[in-house]
């Protein structure tokens, strides 16, 4: 088979031109044995087959032709060990995913770096494909070479519906760390996925101030990457009011006097969370108490005796 014919075969498979593809194969490859070889032929540097190209582009009719008429193996893989199911899942082609699974594709096959089709699907916000894979027993707890599972990846992408579905089907899937001890909460905070962070705080049991192998908390990840609303959410809901964290963030250039949409400062949030040490540190660093948009001072949120005492020790007042 010459180079021009190979290029044309790939082009027709990518463009979804089934009738032209059939004609070219029948004219170019006369014998049945030769026809079968086209199904296992690898093209280009990636080593993709025609089935890979069709799955990537979502051409179900060409996939059916290649599998049923040409005899292409549904588990054929390219140079990265990607199966057609990886391609269809990563590009959100649900009908192609369903067809490949019906034809016997292994739902948890591994490509290079140990990525499963479900992991590939979680890089997209397509709940239908994820449901289809999980209905065929795809395992979201499997990890790739970096220690990430599908839940990690979904938390990075930030689709609340996908994250909630994974938690419903596999309630303990959040109990995972990467090889650098990063949790899905770290991942969601780093990427500014506020709704996902909220879900994780409400439904999962992450310890306040959990750190990765470098000592970084989700709160620090959020601030370092400019996701202030996520940082406030963690401070308010997750009680990350550590004085060392505050000092580190200020050293990194965080604005001591920044306010949220309700006019609240970090001092307000420390008092709402009843964090005496954090409140004391903020006052010592020069953040004065002040009113928020509703006219409420941070001191008015103080309830615990040790928090109240912070404001009774002669430290700076609102004036």
* Cα distances (angstroms) measured from residue 34 to each of 51, 136, 152: 17, 34, 45
Per-residue pLDDT tens digits for 233-269: 887 776 555 566 666 556 656 677 878 778 888 888 8
Query: What's the rounded mean pLDDT across residues 207-219?
Result: 84
Q: Which CATH architecture has domain 1-106?
A: Alpha Horseshoe (1.25)
The answer to whether the pTM exceeds 0.85 is: no
Question: Does residue 256 sit in helix, strand or coil?
Answer: coil
User: Is pLDDT of 119 > 50?
Assistant: yes
Per-residue pLDDT tens digits for 270-294: 888 888 888 887 888 788 999 999 9
Domains 1-106 and 241-319 share a fold: yes
> What rounded mean pLDDT belongs to the chain?
89
Q: Which fold has domain 241-319?
A: 1.25.40
Domain ranges of the chain: 1-106, 241-319
pLDDT of residue 129: 98
Q: How confident is the model at residue 228 (pLDDT cuts 50, 70, 90)?
A: confident
């Amino acid at each position: 088979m010459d180079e021009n014919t190979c290029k044309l075969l790939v082009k027709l498979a990518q463009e979804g031109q089934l009738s032209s593809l059939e004609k070219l194969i029948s004219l170019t490859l006369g014998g049945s044995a030769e026809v079968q070889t086209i199904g296992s032929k690898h093209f280009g540097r990636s080593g993709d087959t025609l089935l890979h190209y069709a799955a990537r582009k979502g051409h179900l009719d060409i996939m059916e032709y290649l599998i049923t008429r040409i005899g292409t193996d549904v588990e054929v893989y390219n140079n990265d060990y990607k199966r057609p199911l990886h391609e269809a899942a990563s590009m959100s082609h649900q009908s192609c995913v369903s067809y490949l699974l019906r034809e016997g594709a292994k739902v948890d096959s591994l490509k290079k770096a140990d990525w499963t089709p479900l992991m590939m699907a979680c890089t997209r916000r397509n709940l239908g494909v994820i449901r289809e894979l999980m209905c065929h027993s795809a395992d979201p707890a499997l990890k790739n070479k970096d220690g990430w599972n599908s839940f990690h990846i979904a938390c990075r992408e930030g689709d609340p519906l996908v994250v909630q579905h994974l938690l419903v089907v596999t309630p303990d899937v959040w109990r995972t760390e990467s090889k650098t001890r990063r949790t899905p909460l770290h991942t969601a905070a780093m990427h500014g996925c506020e709704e996902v962070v909220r879900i994780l705080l409400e439904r999962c049991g992450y310890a306040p101030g959990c750190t990765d192998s470098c000592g970084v908390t989700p709160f620090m990840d959020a601030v370092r990457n400019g996701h202030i609303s996520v940082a406030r959410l963690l401070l308010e809901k997750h009680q990350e009011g550590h004085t060392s964290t505050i000092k580190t963030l200020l050293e990194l250039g965080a604005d001591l006097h920044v306010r949220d949409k309700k006019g609240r400062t970090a001092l307000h949030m420390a008092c709402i969370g009843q964090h005496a040490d954090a409140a004391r540190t903020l006052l010592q660093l020069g953040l004065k108490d002040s009113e928020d948009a509703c006219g409420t001072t941070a001191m008015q949120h103080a309830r615990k005796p040790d928090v109240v005492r912070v404001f009774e020790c002669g430290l700076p007042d609102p004036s």
